[in-house]
Structure 1
Amino acid sequence: MRQPVTIKDVAQAAGCGVASVSRVLNGTGPSSAELRKRVRDAVDELGFEFSEIGRSLQSSTTRTIGCVVPSLANPVFADAVQGAQETFQAAGYQTLLVCTNYDTESEVQVIRTLLAKQVDGFVLTVSDAASSDGLKSVQVREIPHCLLFNAAPENERSWSVDDRAAALTVAQAFKDEGHKQVGFLALKFKSSDRARLRYQGFVEGCAQYGIKEPALLEIDDDSENLTTLLQAFLERNPTLTGIFVSNDFLALATIRSARVLGLNVPADLSIVGFDGIEVGTMVEPSLATIVTDPKMLGSGAAETVLSIINGNRPPKQPEPDLSFSFRAGGSLAPPAAERTDGEKGATFSPSNNPPKKNAKIQLERSK
């Protein structure tokens, strides 16, 4: 059986000392271009691979970063993770990815597990950055970290969208189309501080533009009966003509439920989402939404963690008002004339009121 190639073998083949080989492979300390070439040629010829275990013992680092997000089913998180992973990989770090499924207890457990694995840093999206026990565990140990999508509390770093300003933009879009009564639909705020901030901004925007305070529908994280919930919501708010939904996946599910109920989008009900996922441009009607750049946000959060580890200046973040844009779509239009006069907006015949077992729609939990 062939013996594994050692760093001493590389040093002998390159005609230099072990310290010189280590310096070249670790990228630490000065070395000439000629020496680096000799070492790399020897590594390639011998098939030498650095032992991560040995390197970790020598440097007291694991070259791993914990990445914590609620879900990968939503393309927004998948794109953000890809951006972070590519940045870490280019710097010689591996990413350990875990999903919390929007569960606060799971969030604490997975973060503690990553802490036990002695990761060198964290990029994380938590349920509520102001109260997350998992985040507090990271803070108390002073592990380099950066939040992703969460608004940053005091003394924290985060790469996120200006949720409040984005929600104001949505309120203006509804106003420009002539809507007078609208609603907001999201996962329960305890599971997503992003949804809560968007609602707060939307309430402020509606007040600013002369729209009645939006009706609120919060959905439990295990709710699948969106159609039934939407029907009850619209019956409680019969003059409602539009809904701002806290993410695009949930917005697309809302459009589907509206159709099950016999409603036309946007003729009977306008829908606006949040995130700008590509599939929103491929459906009919196309989804009006707030567009973000999750891959850029993930990469920025990763660069911030690396800057803390290396003691460098953190990367500059985009201006808040440039962190998003509004994309017009076919799901937003002026309300029908009879609805603007305050008449009942939607009636549901028995044929449009399917049994609960047929009305269940699997939801992607709100970001």
Structure 2
Amino acid sequence: MRSRPPTIKDVAEQAGCGIATVSRVLNGTGSASADTRRKVLSAANALGFEFSALGRSLQSSSTKTLGCIVPSLANPVFAEVVQAAQQEAHREGYQLILACSEYDEVLELQAARTLIAKQVDGLVLTVNNAADSEALELIRDRNLPCCLVYNRSSFGLPAWAVDNRAAAREVARAFHSQGHVQTGFLALRFHRSDRSRERYEGFAAACREFGMADPLLLEIEEQDGTLLELLGTLLAEHQALTGIFASNDFLALAAMKAARALGKRIPDDLSLVGFDGISTGLLVDPHLATVETDPRTMGQGAVHSVLARLLDRPTPDLPSAAATFSFRAGGSLGPPVPGKADGREAATSLPSNE
């Protein structure tokens, strides 16, 4: 009977290979044939050997963990980013530790501090406002490998993001092609999202380019599950609008429900376009017109970018502000009822420094 815990040397002897090979297999790093992996794992299981993650981290100064900060998981697009990042991290032998900022700058900074205190090896994150994020400044000062997702590059950090202004221009083009003149831009937590503001700016500029009225800025702040009630009030106050571009699909779908509660027909009385391309938009009738992005590719790419620095690998091509997007036509966008598009409401403009 064995009087001591099994060692990595015991596993190597039983598997018929070297200690370095056993380490690579159990550590999830380096290459090994399928047969070798089977022998090592079988030997480790038979001996009851447990590879100490703590001991490994003390020896290598690596915790084999990556931090991930997103604003919310209520929006499915961030859930897809997290899932893709987690799968890619796990494939590389890393674990993902998740935190949600709830679009709150204080919570965002606290999340960054907490993950740094846990000694994560790197970070994948979406922040509220990349240009002035204290969390990003802290991460940069600590020289911690990180990559932004959906935010444009800031502080010289790598980023996987969509060109929001270019994407919004395609939405304006789609509204114009259907004959819309008076539109609105619907945003939740507008001042807390640089992505939302970029989409508004791109949409407003394109509306002017196409000879449409400046879009009305419809900004709301949900509190305690009041989103549908707030949207209903907002839509009732702006009957002249024939089309609304929502800053994300989640909000567009909520607006669709609120509009129907007011007796509005989609798209006859109100056309709606979202942003992100979540699958739920294809489950409603009519299908939601939207800008499709690729959150899975961005989540995977962000992990690749972090690991490239951690493991001294070639840096992957960074699309920065040019990740792929496409406009997805849907039944929620159609021509306005004749005569309704002639009315023009006074638009709310953003200050020039926004």
Normalized against structure 1, the TM-score is what?
0.85
Does the Cα contact within 8 Å between 2:161 and 2:320 map onto a contact in 1?
A: no
Does the Cα contact within 8 Å between 2:183 and 2:215 map onto a contact in 1?
A: yes
CA 1:29–1:145 in structure 2 vs 1: closer, same or farther (change >3 Å)? closer
Pair 1:214 & 2:215 matched = yes
C-alpha separation in 1, matches of 2:34 and 2:301: 31
- Structure 2 residue aligned with 1:242: 243
The secondary structure found in structure 2 opposite 1:337 is: coil
One-letter code aligned to 1:203? A
CA 1:174–1:310 in structure 2 vs 1: closer, same or farther (change >3 Å)? same
C-alpha separation in 1, matches of 2:286 and 2:228: 19
C-alpha separation in 1, matches of 2:37 and 2:331: 58
- Structure 1 residue aligned with 2:7: 6
1:172-187 alignment runs, 5 A limit? 172-187=173-188
Pair 1:46 & 2:24 matched = no
Pair 1:117 & 2:118 matched = yes
C-alpha separation in 2, matches of 1:30 and 1:187: 47
C-alpha separation in 2, matches of 1:19 and 1:338: 76
The secondary structure found in structure 2 opposite 1:308 is: helix
Per mean C-alpha deviation after superposition, the further-off stretch among 71-80 and 235-244 is 235-244
Does the Cα contact within 8 Å between 2:29 and 2:92 map onto a contact in 1?
A: no
Per mean C-alpha deviation after superposition, the further-off stretch among 335-344 and 33-42 is 33-42
1:103-252 alignment runs, 5 A limit? 103-222=104-223, 224-227=225-228, 229-230=230-231, 233-234=234-235, 237-252=238-253
The secondary structure found in structure 2 opposite 1:130 is: helix
Structure 2: runs of 5+ lacking an equivalent: 346-354
Does the Cα contact within 8 Å between 2:84 and 2:299 map onto a contact in 1?
A: yes
Alpha-carbon deviation of 1:48? 2.2
Pair 1:254 & 2:280 matched = no
Per mean C-alpha deviation after superposition, the further-off stretch among 60-69 and 19-28 is 19-28
One-letter code aligned to 1:247? N
C-alpha separation in 1, matches of 2:28 and 2:250: 44
- Structure 1 residue aligned with 2:348: none
Does the Cα contact within 8 Å between 1:227 and 1:258 map onto a contact in 2?
A: no
Per mean C-alpha deviation after superposition, the further-off stretch among 210-219 and 9-18 is 9-18
Alpha-carbon deviation of 1:42? 2.9
The secondary structure found in structure 1 opposite 2:176 is: helix
Alpha-carbon deviation of 1:229? 4.0
- Structure 2 residue aligned with 1:358: none
Query: What value does the CA root-mean-square deviation take over the aligned residues?
Result: 2.8
Does the Cα contact within 8 Å between 2:178 and 2:336 map onto a contact in 1?
A: yes
One-letter code aligned to 1:164? R
C-alpha separation in 2, matches of 1:236 and 1:219: 13
Structure 1: runs of 5+ lacking an equivalent: 345-367
Does the Cα contact within 8 Å between 1:251 and 1:272 map onto a contact in 2?
A: yes
Does the Cα contact within 8 Å between 1:227 and 1:260 map onto a contact in 2?
A: no
Pair 1:58 & 2:55 matched = no
One-letter code aligned to 2:113? R
The secondary structure found in structure 1 opposite 2:286 is: coil
- Deviations, residues 316-341 of structure 1 (Å, cap 9, x unaligned): 24596661111111111111002033
- Structure 2 residue aligned with 1:339: 340
Alpha-carbon deviation of 1:135? 1.4
One-letter code aligned to 1:147? L
Does the Cα contact within 8 Å between 1:177 and 1:335 map onto a contact in 2?
A: yes
Matched positions, count: 344
Per mean C-alpha deviation after superposition, the further-off stretch among 9-18 and 153-162 is 9-18
C-alpha separation in 2, matches of 1:263 and 1:303: 46
CA 1:184–1:33 in structure 2 vs 1: closer, same or farther (change >3 Å)? closer
C-alpha separation in 2, matches of 1:221 and 1:14: 59
C-alpha separation in 2, matches of 1:289 and 1:101: 24
Does the Cα contact within 8 Å between 1:267 and 1:333 map onto a contact in 2?
A: yes
- Deviations, residues 2-43 of structure 1 (Å, cap 9, x unaligned): 864322322443466656644664477899999877655533
One-letter code aligned to 1:277? I
The secondary structure found in structure 2 opposite 1:153 is: coil
CA 1:260–1:58 in structure 2 vs 1: closer, same or farther (change >3 Å)? same
Alpha-carbon deviation of 1:247? 0.6
CA 1:12–1:76 in structure 2 vs 1: closer, same or farther (change >3 Å)? same
CA 1:242–1:323 in structure 2 vs 1: closer, same or farther (change >3 Å)? same
One-letter code aligned to 2:223? D
Does the Cα contact within 8 Å between 2:189 and 2:220 map onto a contact in 1?
A: yes
CA 1:177–1:315 in structure 2 vs 1: closer, same or farther (change >3 Å)? same
Alpha-carbon deviation of 1:238? 4.2
One-letter code aligned to 2:261? V
C-alpha separation in 2, matches of 1:151 and 1:48: 46
Pair 1:281 & 2:303 matched = no
- Deviations, residues 225-262 of structure 1 (Å, cap 9, x unaligned): 44554455456544321110001111011011111222
The secondary structure found in structure 2 opposite 1:68 is: strand
CA 1:49–1:208 in structure 2 vs 1: closer, same or farther (change >3 Å)? same
C-alpha separation in 2, matches of 1:304 and 1:181: 42
Does the Cα contact within 8 Å between 2:22 and 2:40 map onto a contact in 1?
A: yes
Does the Cα contact within 8 Å between 1:80 and 1:298 map onto a contact in 2?
A: yes
Normalized against structure 2, the TM-score is what?
0.88
One-letter code aligned to 2:181? K
